[in-house]
């Protein structure tokens, strides 16, 4: 019953209209850049030359090259070398240093054996925003410092997961999930904002301009309109994601540790969920103004109850319930798991299927809401 050629007709028409609608097109590309810049100012309050103490419990070429790299970096200024953990803790607590970097015993041996030894980074995270840049940087610095050594390693240790693990220990703000999570979280927020906004007027605009009448007098079906009208924006979602990921890496030095495949699967589902949410709004809203208001009604819980702003675990049960029903909550978990912890399909499965359920429910609701008459 569903005709591919009619879906294609609607798809192509939307694509042309999107291209011609310069202001909206510009907004969709500018919003990620603007948001990142805004948050960038907040995050990057010159976190250069942060006073740092190092404790080296191992000694060897790897440790030395790491130390040299840390010295060269803008982020860390090594002010002390300590020999006991207690001394380091004291400095950190006293605020004399902001970071304590510990290379454990047998680091070199474990590294070569492929046992992924830990580098411990204790941070004064009481200012989580200021702390996020250097924490991200530490990871990257370590990676680069070891690059020459990596070439000498057995094949199986090269590429993929780094042969060490940077364990970040936030002192004084253990629950402060914010810091490093802001930029990945921002990806979820940006996609939610722009994609819902744009599809929430998909039908409303046709109704307001009167074009719905000609459209509905043709044999086109509800599902064909829905698919044709939303799919062009999947492309937009991917472009926005590319911008954010690029900025995360280049500006904020946040690595992408995990496997891209599960990430893209979740991303695709999430983009689709937002488009369906917006489309559902457009089947309800009578004017573009109403559509905007409903969109903002979705933004608020998306920002407040998704774990973007406040730690999810600390929220009351009812708020968690609302949060679980929002696609962004699940997506944020996936992004953090994959980007920061290198999770694979197995770990994120529990957050991908809820997005799939949300997509299904939303599309069914949209199709039920959509009338092929003008009543």
Binding residues for another protein, rule: CB under 8 A, are 3, 5-6, 8-10, 12-13, 16-17, 20-21, 209-220, 373-375
Residue 7 or 168: which CB sits closer to another protein? 7
The DSSP symbol for 22 reads H
The alpha carbons of the chain give a radius of gyration, in whole angstroms, of 24
What residues have CB less than 8 Å from 219, skipping those under 6 apart? 6
Q: How far is the CB of 371 from another protein (least distance, A)?
A: 9
Distances (CA, A) of 38 to 31, 135, 236: 10, 20, 21
Residue 12 or 167: which CB sits closer to another protein? 12
Q: How far is the CB of 226 from another protein (least distance, A)?
A: 15
Residue 5 or 250: which CB sits closer to another protein? 5
Distances (CA, A) of 116 to 107, 108, 140, 168, 300: 9, 10, 16, 15, 41
Q: How far is the CB of 5 from another protein (least distance, A)?
A: 5
Q: How far is the CB of 194 from another protein (least distance, A)?
A: 20
Q: How far is the CB of 174 from another protein (least distance, A)?
A: 54
Residue 230 or 329: which CB sits closer to another protein? 230
Residue 3 or 45: which CB sits closer to another protein? 3
Pairwise CA distance, residues 311 & 367, whole Å: 35
Q: How far is the CB of 45 from another protein (least distance, A)?
A: 44
Hey, what are 152's tokens? 């000498």
Q: How far is the CB of 221 from another protein (least distance, A)?
A: 8
Residue 14 or 351: which CB sits closer to another protein? 14
Residue 96 or 213: which CB sits closer to another protein? 213
Q: Which residue pairs from 363-372 have beta carbons closer than 8 angstroms and sit at least 24 positions apart in sequence?
A: 363/226, 363/276, 363/279, 365/280, 366/226, 366/276, 366/279, 366/280, 366/283, 367/222, 367/223, 367/226, 369/280, 369/283, 369/284, 370/203, 370/222, 370/225, 370/226, 370/283, 372/216, 372/221, 372/222
199 touches 279 (CB < 8 A)? yes
């Amino acid at each position: 019953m569903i005709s591919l050629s009619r879906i294609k007709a609607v798809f192509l028409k939307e694509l042309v209209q999107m291209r011609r609608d310069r202001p909206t097109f510009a907004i969709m590309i500018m919003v990620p850049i603007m948001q990142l810049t805004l948050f960038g100012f907040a995050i990057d309050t010159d976190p250069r030359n942060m006073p740092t103490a190092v404790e080296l419990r191992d000694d060897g070429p790897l440790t030395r090259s790491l130390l040299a790299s840390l010295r060269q970096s803008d982020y860390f200024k090594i002010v002390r070398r300590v020999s006991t953990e207690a001394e380091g803790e004291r400095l950190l607590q006293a605020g004399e240093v902001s970071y304590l970097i510990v290379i454990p015993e047998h680091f070199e041996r474990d590294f070569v054996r492929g046992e992924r030894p830990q580098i411990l980074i204790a941070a004064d995270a009481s200012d989580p925003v200021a702390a996020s840049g250097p924490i991200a940087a530490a990871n990257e610095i370590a990676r680069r410092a070891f690059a020459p050594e990596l070439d000498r390693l057995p094949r199986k240790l090269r590429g993929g997961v780094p042969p060490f693990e940077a364990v970040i220990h936030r002192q004084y703000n253990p629950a402060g999930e914010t810091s490093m999570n802001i930029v990945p979280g921002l990806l979820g927020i940006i996609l939610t904002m722009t994609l819902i906004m744009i599809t929430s007027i998909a039908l409303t605009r046709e109704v307001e301009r009167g074009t719905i009448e000609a459209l509905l007098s043709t044999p086109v079906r509800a599902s064909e309109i829905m698919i044709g009208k939303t799919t062009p924006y999947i492309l937009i979602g991917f472009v926005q994601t590319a911008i954010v990921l690029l900025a995360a890496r280049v500006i904020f030095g946040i690595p992408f540790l995990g496997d891209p495949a599960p990430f893209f699967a979740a991303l695709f589902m999430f983009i689709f969920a937002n488009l369906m949410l917006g489309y559902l709004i457009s089947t309800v809203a009578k004017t573009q103004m109403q559509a905007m208001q409903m969109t903002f009604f979705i933004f608020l819980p998306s920002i407040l109850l998704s774990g973007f702003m406040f730690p999810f675990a600390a929220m009351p049960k009812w708020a968690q319930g609302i949060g679980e029903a929002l696609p962004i909550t699940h997506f944020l978990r996936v992004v953090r798991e994959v980007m920061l912890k290198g999770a694979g399909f197995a770990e994120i499965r529990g957050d991908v299927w809820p997005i799939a359920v949300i997509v299904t429910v939303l599309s069914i609701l949209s199709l039920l809401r959509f009338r092929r008459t003008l009543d």
